Chain A
């Protein structure tokens, strides 16, 4: 936890005063209405920094929920013979008791798997990750007083909250929450008779996600408008930190892909409520022929994955942006290949829209059409490899500070490589014939977009905690958290590759009747135990987080990491409007580390005579 500050506080103030831009913000006195009472400060806040904290803590709540669900179904998979009677006080009727032995109800197992996926993908890694850091960092790093629309920003959080409340309530339905998988394919999602959770559970699931999309769109419109319209003087696009580039492109992806999900949900709701046949063809259920004719369930899959694939980049791009920034700051080196990093973000974002059918190789898509999707899927490896190369090159020869933030960033790179390589297997439609719907897929996406995105999020939390709460998180606990999670996460997901290659299918409740999978019982036990250990370490993180909010070591200088970006020029506890006086003007790009014999040169420091800005052409 180095606290190196070569730029004195007064010097920062002088630079802002001399070169900054006076927008007469504090003469309007409209900041009072933002933080004048407990409710406007902490609940219906319109301040982007408070909204970021709301997103983060709500995301953490859902992270714990999703993780606990995974523990229950991992118990089932690792120890299918053990009694689950001890869970009866929590799960109630979903634990059936016979001869004093408690068994997890299979339909609830499927509900757990479904809700685990839904909440981790949407509530934790979309809202909790890009919601938190886009809100916190976009205004601070582009030099704006707040988001373009603080009101819409507040609504964005509260729509997310509402979505969460509805999803949470659906857990308590007597028929249980939706249980047809997080992708909600029809007919399981379209017919009430299909499963217990397909009735009220599915209705609430859909309503919850529609509110969630509203939240994402309100947030995204704000992020894009803020980045394009409210950058401070001198902040050209090529001087933006990579965090902002990542959040900006993420927001565009969300704006373009989530509405398509809404169109799919709308057609699905028509099928459910108005007896239309968009996704339902001639179908028998429970021995009864339904009147639906001529629909196509594959159509839903196309619409769903047109969102679904960009969604995985909506999750990973913010993590990539955070990692780029954190690695550069803590390696005390400029990010290697800044422009290549930006272009690779753009390339990944573009490609993400034309690869969706690689999720559908085995659902009846024409193999000749699959070829097209295979090629573009594999091309994504190119910009991804550029990014990995640049992160490693940034670290190479750096004067690296190994702290929780930088370790999680390095861990991110490790996870992204491991998970990315298995993506090359799965991107081939021929290999997918063998691998589809096995634990190989589970291992792939959990490592590359689950664990990796969590690592990016942890790196961001440890790095910007001082900006959020004016205190540090405990470094020792942070390192224990990192090493335990790194080893534990690999212990959980690495063995799943072997299960998958042996053909063990995902989503199965039990493998009792499959003699050829019985010798994997011990691997499954091992995975479950590792998952419990990893969960315990996340509890440690949460304790560290909340303890540090109140009792952490206080931040004593504005720029504790010696970073260049604008958020570290604000007061330690920045009020509404972020800067007490003028808005700082930007003179250079964000990555002048180790230049001209100086350890770092903040963006507000003017270029010396004859000095060339590395960000400009």
Chain B
């Protein structure tokens, strides 16, 4: 997101304090949630119909839930550091958070490899296909978050050490989206455990 996307600031007379950009981000998150509601309810309906393969989820999925929560925390503190003008901390935490984000995607891939080695393939019983699709589409959204983080890194290292409301706002949007994909994974893993 850049500054020109939403060029109409909120009117002072509306009591709504939320920035229109952030509000739009929340609506976009709601639509992403609806897509996963579609996947997970299809999962429930299909599972209830029988002929369903039961299998253990790879442990990596759970470790990754911890990892993505940790990523969110690191990015949150990076944002706090930026707001306080602590640029060393801000940049180092941002780099750390981005690397952890990359690690998340890599480890999700490893989890798929574990599943494949256990004989759970993309094709075959839909029980396995659903896990691949749900975690795969989630990973695609994490990749979107990594693109936003890359933009944040470029800002962090190319712009002068200067705190502006606009930069706080941009970083806030990126971090908010990360919190969202993190919470989304927690929901998905909770859902998968509950249904297996």
Q: Which residues of A contact B (CB under 8 A)?
A: 21, 23, 30, 144-152, 217, 220-222, 224-225, 228-233, 255-260, 262-264, 266-267, 270, 274-278, 291, 293-296, 299, 302-303, 306
Query: Which residues 22-46 in B have Cβ within 8 Å of A in the complex?
Result: 23-24, 27-28, 30-32, 34-39, 42, 45-46
Given contacts A221-B28, A255-B34, A270-B133, contact A294 B125 (CB under 8 A): yes
Taken together as a complex, chains A and B put the C-alpha atoms of A259 and B37 apart, in Å, by 9
B13 within 8 A of A: yes
Taken together as a complex, chains A and B put the C-alpha atoms of A221 and B36 apart, in Å, by 18
**CB of B123 to closest CB in A, whole Å:** 5
B161 within 8 A of A: no
B14 within 8 A of A: yes
Taken together as a complex, chains A and B put the C-alpha atoms of A147 and B35 apart, in Å, by 25
> 15 A-B pairs, CB-CB below 8 angstroms?
A144-B8, A149-B6, A152-B5, A217-B31, A228-B23, A232-B11, A255-B31, A260-B37, A263-B38, A264-B38, A274-B122, A278-B129, A278-B130, A294-B125, A303-B42
Summarize A's interface: helix, strand, loop or mixed: helix
Residues of chain A within 8 A (CB-CB) of B137 are 266
Contact (Cβ within 8 A) B45 A230:
no
| In the complex, per-residue mask of B119-154: 1 if CB is within 8 Å of any chain A CB, else 0 | 000111110011001000100000000000000000
B59 within 8 A of A: no
Given contacts A222-B24, A256-B31, A266-B133, 4 further A-B contacts (CB under 8 A): A146-B8, A148-B8, A276-B122, A306-B38
Taken together as a complex, chains A and B put the C-alpha atoms of A147 and B36 apart, in Å, by 28
Contact (Cβ within 8 A) B24 A258:
no
B194 within 8 A of A: no
Contact (Cβ within 8 A) B20 A148:
yes
- B39's partner among A145, A232, A255, A263 (CB-CB below 8 A) is A263
Highest count of chain A CB atoms <10 Å: which of B14, B23, B32, B42? B42
**CB of B24 to closest CB in A, whole Å:** 5
B16 within 8 A of A: yes
Residues of chain B within 8 A (CB-CB) of A294 are 51, 125-126
Taken together as a complex, chains A and B put the C-alpha atoms of A81 and B34 apart, in Å, by 49
Contact (Cβ within 8 A) B30 A276:
no
B4 within 8 A of A: yes
Taken together as a complex, chains A and B put the C-alpha atoms of A151 and B32 apart, in Å, by 21
Residues of chain A within 8 A (CB-CB) of B5 are 149, 151-152
Contact (Cβ within 8 A) B20 A230:
yes
B49 within 8 A of A: yes
Given contacts A30-B7, A263-B38, A266-B137, contact A229 B23 (CB under 8 A): yes
**CB of A235 to closest CB in B, whole Å:** 9
Contact (Cβ within 8 A) A229 B10:
yes
Residues of chain A within 8 A (CB-CB) of B49 are 296
Residues of chain A within 8 A (CB-CB) of B45 are 296, 299, 302
Contact (Cβ within 8 A) B42 A21:
no
Contact (Cβ within 8 A) B129 A276:
yes
Taken together as a complex, chains A and B put the C-alpha atoms of A257 and B37 apart, in Å, by 10
**CB of A219 to closest CB in B, whole Å:** 12
Give the nearest-CB partner of B19 in chain A.
A229
Contact (Cβ within 8 A) B34 A259:
yes
Contact (Cβ within 8 A) A263 B42:
yes
Taken together as a complex, chains A and B put the C-alpha atoms of A224 and B35 apart, in Å, by 19
Residues of chain B within 8 A (CB-CB) of A295 are 126
Taken together as a complex, chains A and B put the C-alpha atoms of A41 and B31 apart, in Å, by 31
Contact (Cβ within 8 A) B38 A259:
yes
Taken together as a complex, chains A and B put the C-alpha atoms of A276 and B131 apart, in Å, by 12
Residues of chain A within 8 A (CB-CB) of B35 are 259-260, 262-263
- B38's partner among A150, A291, A303 (CB-CB below 8 A) is A303
Taken together as a complex, chains A and B put the C-alpha atoms of A88 and B14 apart, in Å, by 61
**CB of A27 to closest CB in B, whole Å:** 14
Contact (Cβ within 8 A) A259 B31:
yes
Contact (Cβ within 8 A) B125 A260:
no
Given contacts A146-B8, A149-B5, A267-B42, contact A277 B37 (CB under 8 A): no
Taken together as a complex, chains A and B put the C-alpha atoms of A264 and B42 apart, in Å, by 9
Taken together as a complex, chains A and B put the C-alpha atoms of A259 and B32 apart, in Å, by 7
- B24's partner among A30, A148, A259, A266 (CB-CB below 8 A) is A148
Taken together as a complex, chains A and B put the C-alpha atoms of A24 and B130 apart, in Å, by 53
